[in-house]
C-alpha cells in the first residue's frame, strides 16, 4: 500500500513539474518571439506616425533582426543552455527598452540585430530543454503548450500595443513598457532554467552525421522552406502598417496582429493533434496555398476585413508549416537530420531576410508593398505545387 501511494505521489509530482516546466517554456518563447522577434510589427505603425519612420527604413530594421536570428541560431549550440536562455531573455529586455531611447537609425539597427541573436538563443535552447525534460517527466504532449508560446507572445504584444495606441502612448514609451515587462517575466522565470546541457541533446550532437548528403529532393525541400521564409515574413512584418493605411483608429486596425498571434497559438494544438494522420509534405503544401491566399488578399480586396482574414490565414499556417517541414526533414535525412534541419533553418532565415529587403527596394515604386505581397504569394504557390507533386515520389528518399 505504501509503495502504491508513493508511486501515485511521484507520478503526480512529475505531472506537476511537467506542467510548470511547459508553462515556463511558453513564457520564455513568448518573450523571445513576441517581443524579441515580432514586437516591431505592431509598433511599426506607431513609429511611422510619431517617429517618421519610412517603409524603406522599416524594411532594413526588420532585416537586421532576421540577420541576428540567423547568426544567433548558428552560434547557439556553443552556449551553455541555462546561460543562453537567461542571458538571451535579459538581452531582449535591455535592447527592447533601448529602442525607446533616442531615434538614431543606426542605433536601432544594432539593437534589432542583438534582439534577433538573443531570440534565437532562447528558441533553440528552450526547445532542447523542453524536449528532454517533458520526455523525462512522461508528458511529451505538453510540447504543444511550449510552442504555443510563440503565438501567445505575438498576440499578447499586439494586444498591449493596441491598448497603448488607444491611450495615445507613443512608440518610444511602448518599447520601454515591453522592455520592463520582459525583465519582470525573466525575474519570474530565472529559477526555472538551470542545469547543464540536456544529456539527450548532447549525445545526439556527438553521434549524428553533421554533413548534408545532398539529393534533388533535399534541395527541393530547402528551396521550399526558403520560399516559406520569404512568403510569410512580409505580412508578418507589415500587416498592421497596411491596416493603418485604411483605418486610423488603433482600436480597429490594431486587431491585425493579435489575430495573427492567436491563430498561431491555436494552430499548434490542432497540428499536434492531427499532424500524424496527414502526410507531412501534403500538409505543408496545403498550408502554403492557404498562406498564399492570406498574403494576396490585401492586394486583391483592399479593406480591413481582408487584412484580418489574411492575419488569420498566415498566422494559422506558419507554425503548421514549421512543424510539418521539420518532421519531413527528419524523415528524409535520417541520421543526418540535425545537419539538414540546420540547413533548412538557414534557408528560412535567408528567405525572411530577403522579404524586408524586397520591401525596401520597391518602397519607392508604384507597386510598393502590394507588389512585394504579390511576389510572395507567387513563391508560396510555386512551392506548394512543387511539394504536392513530389509527395508520392519522396518515399524512401534520403
pLDDT in tens, 56-110: 899 899 989 989 988 887 777 778 888 999 999 999 999 999 999 988 999 999 9
Query: Which tens digit of pLDDT belongs to each residue from 107-141?
Result: 999 999 999 999 988 987 887 777 677 777 777 77
Listed residues 152, 186, 207: the one ending a domain: 207
In this structure, the number of other CB atoms found within 10 A of the CB of residue 301 comes to 12
Same domain, 353 and 239: yes
What is the Cα–Cα distance from 238 to 63, expressed in whole angstroms? 13
pTM of the model: 0.80
Same domain, 197 and 223: no
Same domain, 184 and 308: no
- State in Å, rounded, how far the first CA of the chain is from the last one: 52
Listed residues 139, 173, 207: the one ending a domain: 207
What is the Cα–Cα distance from 274 to 129, expressed in whole angstroms? 24
Give the residues of the chain that fall short of pLDDT 50.
196-209, 395-398
Same domain, 347 and 262: yes
In this structure, what DSSP letter does residue 35 have?
I
Residue 123 neighbours by CB under 8 Å, 6+ apart: 29, 32, 33, 73
pLDDT of 7 reads 55
pLDDT of 389 reads 93
Same domain, 43 and 168: yes
Same domain, 350 and 225: yes
pLDDT of 396 reads 44
Same domain, 112 and 258: no
- In 3-state terms, the chain is what percent helix, strand and coil (to 5)? 85, 0, 15
pLDDT of 326 reads 76
What is the Cα–Cα distance from 18 to 28, expressed in whole angstroms? 15
The CATH number that applies at residue 26 is 1.20.1250.20
In this structure, the number of other CB atoms found within 10 A of the CB of residue 233 comes to 26
pLDDT of 115 reads 97
Same domain, 232 and 339: yes
What is the Cα–Cα distance from 170 to 49, expressed in whole angstroms? 9
What is the Cα–Cα distance from 319 to 147, expressed in whole angstroms? 9
Same domain, 74 and 185: yes
* Total number of domains in the chain: 2
State whether residue 90 is helix, strand or coil: helix
Residue 382 neighbours by CB under 8 Å, 6+ apart: 227
State whether residue 272 is helix, strand or coil: helix
Listed residues 168, 186, 207: the one ending a domain: 207
Same domain, 320 and 345: yes
Range of the domain at 358: 213-398
Same domain, 227 and 119: no
Same domain, 234 and 179: no
pLDDT of 2 reads 54
Amino acid at each position: 500500500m505504501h509503495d502504491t501511494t508513493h508511486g501515485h505521489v511521484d507520478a503526480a509530482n512529475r505531472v506537476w513539474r511537467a506542467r510548470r516546466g511547459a508553462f515556463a517554456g511558453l513564457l520564455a518563447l513568448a518573450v523571445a518571439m513576441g517581443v524579441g522577434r515580432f514586437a516591431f510589427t505592431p509598433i511599426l505603425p506607431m513609429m511611422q506616425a510619431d517617429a517618421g519612420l519610412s517603409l524603406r527604413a522599416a524594411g532594413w530594421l526588420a532585416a537586421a533582426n532576421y540577420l541576428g536570428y540567423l547568426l544567433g541560431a548558428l552560434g547557439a549550440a556553443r552556449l551553455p543552455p541555462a546561460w543562453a536562455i537567461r542571458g538571451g531573455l535579459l538581452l531582449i529586455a535591455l535592447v527592447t527598452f533601448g529602442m525607446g531611447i533616442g531615434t538614431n537609425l543606426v542605433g536601432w539597427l544594432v539593437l534589432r540585430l542583438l534582439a534577433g541573436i538573443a531570440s534565437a538563443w532562447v528558441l533553440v535552447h528552450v526547445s532542447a530543454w523542453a524536449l528532454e525534460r517533458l520526455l523525462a517527466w512522461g508528458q511529451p504532449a505538453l510540447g504543444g503548450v511550449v510552442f504555443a508560446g510563440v503565438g501567445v507572445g505575438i498576440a499578447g504584444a499586439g494586444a498591449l500595443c493596441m491598448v497603448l495606441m488607444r491611450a495615445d502612448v507613443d512608440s518610444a514609451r511602448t518599447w520601454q513598457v515591453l522592455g520592463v515587462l520582459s525583465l519582470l517575466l525573466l525575474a519570474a522565470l530565472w529559477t526555472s532554467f538551470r542545469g547543464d546541457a540536456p544529456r539527450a541533446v548532447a549525445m545526439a550532437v556527438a553521434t549524428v552525421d553533421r554533413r548534408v548528403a545532398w539529393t534533388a529532393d533535399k534541395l527541393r525541400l530547402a528551396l521550399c522552406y526558403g520560399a516559406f521564409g520569404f512568403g510569410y515574413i512580409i505580412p508578418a512584418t507589415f500587416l498592421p502598417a497596411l491596416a493603418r493605411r485604411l483605418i486610423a483608429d488603433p482600436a480597429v486596425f490594431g486587431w491585425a496582429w493579435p489575430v495573427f498571434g492567436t491563430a498561431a497559438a491555436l494552430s499548434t494544438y490542432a497540428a499536434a493533434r492531427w499532424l500524424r494522420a496527414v502526410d507531412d509534405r501534403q500538409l505543408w503544401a496545403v498550408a502554403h496555398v492557404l498562406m498564399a491566399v492570406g498574403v494576396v488578399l490585401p492586394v486583391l480586396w483592399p479593406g480591413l476585413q481582408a487584412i484580418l482574414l489574411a492575419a488569420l490565414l498566415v498566422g494559422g499556417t506558419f507554425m503548421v508549416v514549421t512543424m510539418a517541414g521539420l518532421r519531413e526533414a527528419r524523415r528524409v535525412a535520417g541520421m543526418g537530420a540535425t545537419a539538414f534541419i540546420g540547413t533548412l533553418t538557414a534557408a528560412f532565415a535567408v528567405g525572411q531576410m530577403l522579404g524586408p529587403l524586397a520591401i525596401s527596394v520597391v518602397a519607392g515604386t508604384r507597386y510598393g508593398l502590394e507588389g512585394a505581397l504579390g511576389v510572395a504569394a507567387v513563391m508560396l504557390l510555386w512551392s506548394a505545387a512543387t511539394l504536392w507533386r513530389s509527395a508520392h515520389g519522396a518515399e524512401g528518399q534520403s
